[in-house]
Amino acid sequence: MFLKSPPPLVLASTSIYRRQLLERLQIPFTCDSPGVDEAPLPDEIPKALVARLALAKARAVAARHPDAWIIGSDQVAVLQESATATAILGKPGTAVRCVEQIRRCSGRTLTFVTAVAVLRHDQAAHEFIDESRVTYRRLDAATIERYVARESPLDCAGGFKSEGLGIALCEAIENLDPTALIGLPLIRLGAVLRLVGFTLP
């Protein structure tokens, strides 16, 4: 598709986890902070929230890089606490909140919902959502506190890092793309990048 060299590629994120994932595709890219308010709207469901934020992040960065392809992404962890109550767990930010989030997840299954939007300023966005299900084993207070102290996953949705020590908290993980759980689904993202003209193996 590209006659000479591909246009710039920009990851609309400051997340070290997403940057490290995108590096695996071995395509040159830069990162730019989208500066988007991530607070949910009233009564906004998880899929709508992450889709809106992924697109908003991509659009915000596209305004500063009109010639580039932009990748925006967002993720939340969703806990079905009862038949009628759903909790959205974002980044805990503090150790106390992280311990509380994981305590709520003990013995339960969470759905990690990850949205991606890939766009260029003059073209329609390519959007998709990936879901991963994580079942936690039953965790006592000492186990949770040890995990949080050792891993310090304060900037991860649900306070959980599957690529690190967090795997020891799990009973099962169900997904189609293990990179989605870390924050950027590379299988479908790779397909989109090939579609818009980038060369991947």
**Cα–Cα distance between 165 and 147 in angstroms, integer?**
7
DSSP 158: G
Say how many Å lie between the first and final Cα of the chain, rounded. 16
The angle subtended at Cα 192 by Cα 188 and Cα 195, nearest 5°, is 140
The amino acid present at 35, given as its one-letter code, is G
Beta-carbon contacts of 79 under 8 Å, excluding residues fewer than 6 positions away, are 86, 87, 89, 104, 105, 108, 110, 158
Beta-carbon contacts of 185 under 8 Å, excluding residues fewer than 6 positions away, are 114, 116, 128, 130, 177, 179
Q: Which residues are catalytic?
A: 74
